Amino acid sequence: MNIIVIGCGKVGRTIVNNLIKEDNDITVIDINPDVIDSVVNEVDVAGIAGNAANHEILLEAGVKKADIVISVTKSDEFNVLCCLLAKKTGGCQTIARVRNPEYNNELNFIKDELGLAMLINPEMASAVEMSRILRFPSAISVDSFAKGRVELLQLKIPENSFLDGMKIRDIRPKAKNDVLVCGVERGEEIFIPNGEFILKTGDTVTIVASPMYVNDFFRKVGVRANQAKSVIIAGGGETGFYLASILSKTGVDVTIIEHDEKRCNEINERLAKVKVIHGDATDRVLLDEEGIGSVDAFCALTSFDEENVMLSLYAKKASPNIKTITKINKIEFDDIIKEMDLDTIVYPKEVAAEHVTSFVRAMKNSMGSNVETMYRVIGGKAEALEFIVKEGSPVVDKPLMELNLKSDIIVACITRKGSIIYPRGNDSMQVGDSVVIVTTREGLDDIKDILV
């Protein structure tokens, strides 16, 4: 596909890096020539330095041949303007980044009335992801398939868990629970395991399960299963505001600590059920006074990565059983951060980029690709893909044990008429099934691509 990306900041670059792996032709536009030079030298894209709200710049970028224009500069209004110009000039699909909370209630109106294909809000998307994780505090990440009927979760096997030393084929009969382990991260190694694979304490495992079975499985594994009921949020920026709004509507006791008094007053006015503290979240005395040792979860969402890491580490020291979520904007030291005891780490730009990548894949659905949903899992080193099985597919009505599957691929779940099947060798795929595939391979566009 021909794609134009406007704005090469953190979000823009991450989107470009994701889409370039999807065999797309990409042109980037940014007002700063040095930024364009950096991006062009880093990845195989065309670059134009200039104002994307200029009609001539869009024409030079090839807007008349573009399938999608994605505008993700720091200005919401500029992004919408660029999308309107691109749509008027080229008739392409458009995606705009709109992140100001003041526009949040108007997003559907803006999208529909202006004819935009998609609006992305990295902070809101991150807050939604965090709220899902707080439903299952022991999970590192939570993704949904089959319209929410299937959850894909990551968790770390604790010490003294019955999973230590167990073969994967023995989990379901011994746990008496329908879950399927479809990925294992052990140190730097990634495995798409078969039934003989033996799990160990410290492994990060990716499981597929129905939401109704997750908490029971967690309890049997030996990790916390109940939803967080009390949360402290450090930082009252956009992400903290959105998260507090979501949690407070579900009855969670939420406290926000924010250093800016004006911002505190704004949050107080808009979130009546949220306790807002004007203070410095790095003040240990303040944290102790607000009960960091007794709350269920702590979310470090300030504007400074180093501060977020430090706060989460202190929260774990104050309460070993607390769930921590740490927001990180830069990923230069990602390998070091992952070695720390930080529970869940959320990268807003990665969340936004994943949403855009999923949308692009959905567009390709009408151009030869049948991917319905896609998530990057196991530390971004594997993909979980959802396909709808169509008439004439070579996988139809054949037992899985008879399919000649490529290596590093596992059929994780089949959803058929609302029922969930965790497949065994005798199970088969039928027309209309929703099928989740987990793989370390890239470039799967159709369910038939899983075959040798």
In the block, tokens 């702590």 appear at 298
pLDDT of residue 443: 75
pLDDT in the model for residue 29: 97
pLDDT at 31 (0 to 100): 95
Assess contact for 267 and 256: CB atoms under 8 A. Answer: yes
> Which 8-state DSSP code applies to residue 405?
B
Give the pLDDT of residue 337.
Answer: 73
Q: Return the pLDDT at 261.
A: 95
The total number of residues written for the chain in this structure: 452
Q: Which two tokens stand for residue 152?
A: 């894909």
Q: Count other C-beta atoms under 10 Å from residue 229's C-beta.
A: 14
Asked if 261 and 278 count as a contact pair (C-beta separation under 8 A), the reply is yes
Four-way CATH pick for 367-450: 3.40.50.10860, 3.40.1390.20, 3.40.50.300, 3.30.70.1450: 3.30.70.1450
Domain(s) of CATH 3.30.70.1450: residues in the chain: 127-221, 367-450
What single DSSP character describes residue 366?
A: G
The C-alpha atoms of residue 38 and residue 40 are separated, in whole angstroms, by 6
pLDDT number for residue 177: 82
- The listed CATH number (3.40.50.720, 2.60.120.10, 1.10.10.60, 3.20.20.60) that belongs to domain 230-346: 3.40.50.720
How, if at all, do strands 434-439 and 382-388 pair? Answer: antiparallel
CATH class of 127-221: alpha beta
Q: Where in the chain is the domain with CATH 3.40.50.720?
A: 2-120, 230-346
Burial of 304 (0-12, 13-18, 19+ CB in 10 A): middle
Q: How far apart are CA 212 and CA 153, in angstroms?
A: 13
Q: What is the pTM of this model?
A: 0.79
Q: Tell me what pLDDT residue 366 has.
A: 47
Angle at 169 between CA 168 and CA 172, to 5 degrees: 90
What are residue 394's phi and psi, to 5 degrees? -70, -10
Which phi and psi angles does 226 have, rounded to 5°? -80, 150
Phi–psi pair at 197, nearest 5 degrees:
-65, 135
pLDDT of residue 225: 66
Alpha helices in 44-192 (DSSP H): 55-60, 76-90, 107-114, 122-135, 171-175
Report the CATH fold assignment for 2-120.
Rossmann fold (3.40.50)
Q: How far is CA 257 from CA 250, 288, 348, 371, 445, in A?
A: 20, 12, 20, 42, 45
Rg of the Cα atoms in the chain:
23
- The segments of the chain whose pLDDT lies below 70 read 225, 331-335, 362, 364-369
Residues whose CB is less than 8 angstroms from the CB of residue 90 and which lie 6 or more positions away in sequence, other chains included:
58, 63, 64, 65, 66, 69
